[in-house]
A and B are shown apart, each in its own frame.
Chain A
Amino acid sequence: MSIILGKDDLAKYPFLEEAGTYVRESHFDLDDFNRSEFLHIIERASKRIEFALIQGKVFMDLEKYDIELFTFLVSLIMMKYIYEDSAIKKFSLFEAIRVERFLISDLLKEKDLRKKNLLISRIFRELFQLDVDLDTKKNNLFKMNISNYLDRATQFNEIEWKLINRAVDNGYVYLDVDETVRLIRYEIYKLMYNKIKNMNITKIPEQIRFHATLIKNKLIPTIKYTKNTTDLPPCIKKALEFLNKSENLPHSARFMLATYMLSLGKSIDEVVSLFQNAPDFNEKITRYQVEHLAGKKGSQTKYSVPACSKLVNENLCYATIDCKGITNPIQFGRNRK
């Protein structure tokens, strides 16, 4: 007996082929969104976007599949209209995290092995060409071949993703659910980003445009770090470049940047504002973390800027000739005239 994904699954994974087929087969016209009965879907899509772009939260609300599929479609159209690249990146990241959470939960809770395998097959194998198997003999761990793992894991700078810190055996890497799903976050993000970027719509319905404009007006303009950066060490410059492009920075790079800026005597507000362009920016969390690093929260310990040797290990070092002789980024430029 063949097994297929249910409609509830499509609600969680609206980027799957079946979801597109459902929308196409419903003979739905874009102009239908101008009708009043679709207003709640547009409002829901607005909320989903505002959660990501303004509140920095993941929208985890889950409705019936048809509502979810149309909400997803509308939110993509709205993002296309909003157009700003940093906003699209931020939204794509939050959508990726939403999918990640549903997927982890489904893979953990699903008792039916065939259903679980189907999900793995549809999302990992078909969508992202990642050959993953569930090894029931080995604690229900997920296994993938080493090259597949390396292709993805080398994008992360964190030391925990180095192959040596993984369970490796006979050509395979064994991962738990969270780790396996985390490995494809970037691919889900890219999928979302490309869906929005490649969307070709000649005329966006008025009702969608109206709500998208409301969101656009609420968006904080992209902050660029405008200070003359020639006196900054290359590792810090690189981190700022990433933030200015709204790219996701690894935790270790955020730690380095915040402790460095605090060591220069920047205020908590100034340091917090630097992270405003991070795709997952949440002011409350960022403020707490920066205050913690400044020794104003928690253990009251003021954290030091990591040494160059640590940054080298974390792949955060972009040393230039001007770094010669320094062992910590704070020493950069001290002897230069």
Chain B
Amino acid sequence: MKKEINTKNKDFLTTLFKEYYFKNLGLLNPPIQMPNREFGFMTFDGKVIRHLSFSKLGSLKAYIIQNVPSDIFCSNAYYQFPTFPINEKGWKGADMIFDIDLNDLLLSCQKEHTFYICSNCNVVSRDYINQCYKCHNTTILKNTIPCFRCITSLKKETKNLIEFLKKDFGIQEKNLEVSFSGNTGFHVVVCQDNYMLLDSKSRSDVAGYLMGRNLTPESFGVRNDKGGYRIKIPLSGFSYGWRKRIVQRMKIPVSSDHLNKFIKKIGGYPSFKNEIDKIASEIGVKIDPQVTTDIHRIFRMVGSLNGKSGLSKTICYDLDKFDPMTDSCFFENDKSVDISINIPLKFHIKGKKYVLDKSISSVPVSVAVFLISKRLANVANYSS
């Protein structure tokens, strides 16, 4: 959710975003088949502009420099007529996209660095609020500054997804694009011909597969039978995909006898089902299924700035070494800006630790852009 920000902050971010695009236009990564994609933009006033098309990277860049949007999106779909209304665009296929977001990981540390912010007066609370205690506004924004543990968990989940995609779906490395979203997650795009034409229902099945949903004991040849159960090991065995993962986790040698003993020991068919569900939800990838299922989504463009953080959506060539707070931060540290902090904060940017209290502080531009985009600070004094 994005609401209009105050004029001073808006002017500051517009200036800095424009400067970024001037200096870093080369980082904008044009999608393949660019003329067939729909482009969308969000303005600093919170307006969404969709159904645009650019046949050349030059005209896209010119648009960006001229309009300085807070966010830039590009469709995962390929259309015959990208500028037409959605039902008349002539869908020709879509990249398969995955979003791994901090909100879906439910980490215990998240509460420590999540803030609830009034969209009207920017009052910040560490505790959940559904109404601003100062202006009584009920539109509350939720913002998180990911900590080291968050980033590590996000990377682990992304690797889990990549492993599933490679091993089970046969996706080749060259057809996988992994990037930091610019805020609190990672995006994975699969651009492989045999998955391009999958409809929404099929993609929903793919999402369910990755998340470990709806795995049945019958898949293992275990059938509910008059309150008991019977076993007939499937011809396709337990050597592939989910069956292999579950059996390995349960440490059951593959035979009817061993499986029977195991099921008997844990309490029959219902307990076996619960055990499968439990393991599947542990091993399954925590993706946002709505993103994967959407075949008309406009997805953040690589190389563009995320208006919710001022960080860039950046391709991760080496996920292990990738540090979002450094590698996605393209603003300089050589100039200072006076900002008023809305709440005491601790965080790292570009390898430096910052501890700010609730007063006016002089911080590098990179920090100011980050905190103002996050609605955790306001510009007090800045001259470009």
Please give the residue numbers on chain A whose beta carbons come within 8 Å of chain B beta carbons, in ascending order.
Answer: 138-139, 141, 145-147, 150-151, 153-154, 159-160, 162-172, 174-176, 299, 313
Q: Name the distance in Å between A156's Cβ and chain B's nearest Cβ.
A: 11
A163 surroundings in chain B (CB, below 8 A): 205-206, 208-209
Chain B residue at minimal CB-CB distance from A145 = B194
Q: Does B241 contact A (CB under 8 A)?
A: yes
Q: Does B290 contact A (CB under 8 A)?
A: no
Contact A168 B241 (CB under 8 A): yes
Interface residues of B in 314-372 (CB under 8 A from A): none
Contact A299 B226 (CB under 8 A): yes
**Docked pose: A208 CA to B237 CA in angstroms:** 51
A151 surroundings in chain B (CB, below 8 A): 198, 202
Q: Which of B101-109, B215-223, B264-272 contacts A (4 or more CB under 8 A)?
A: B215-223
Please give the residue numbers on chain B whose beta carbons come within 8 Å of chain A beta carbons, in ascending order.
Answer: 167-171, 194-195, 197-199, 201-202, 205-206, 208-209, 212-216, 218-219, 226, 234-237, 239-243, 280
Chain A residue at minimal CB-CB distance from B241 = A168
**Docked pose: A147 CA to B192 CA in angstroms:** 11
Contact A164 B169 (CB under 8 A): no
Contact A159 B240 (CB under 8 A): no
Choose among B235, B239, B242 the residue that contacts A164 (Cβ–Cβ < 8 A).
B242
Choose among B198, B213, B219, B236 the residue that contacts A141 (Cβ–Cβ < 8 A).
B236
Contact B240 A154 (CB under 8 A): no
Contact B194 A171 (CB under 8 A): yes
Contact A165 B216 (CB under 8 A): yes
A141-B214 in contact given A162-B208, A164-B219, A169-B168 (Cβ < 8 Å): no
B195 surroundings in chain A (CB, below 8 A): 146-147
B214 surroundings in chain A (CB, below 8 A): 159, 162, 164-165, 313
A176 surroundings in chain B (CB, below 8 A): 234-236
B215 surroundings in chain A (CB, below 8 A): 164-165
**Docked pose: A232 CA to B199 CA in angstroms:** 31
**Docked pose: A145 CA to B194 CA in angstroms:** 8
**Docked pose: A130 CA to B102 CA in angstroms:** 40
B242 surroundings in chain A (CB, below 8 A): 164-165, 168
Contact A169 B202 (CB under 8 A): no
Contact A174 B169 (CB under 8 A): no
**Docked pose: A303 CA to B129 CA in angstroms:** 46
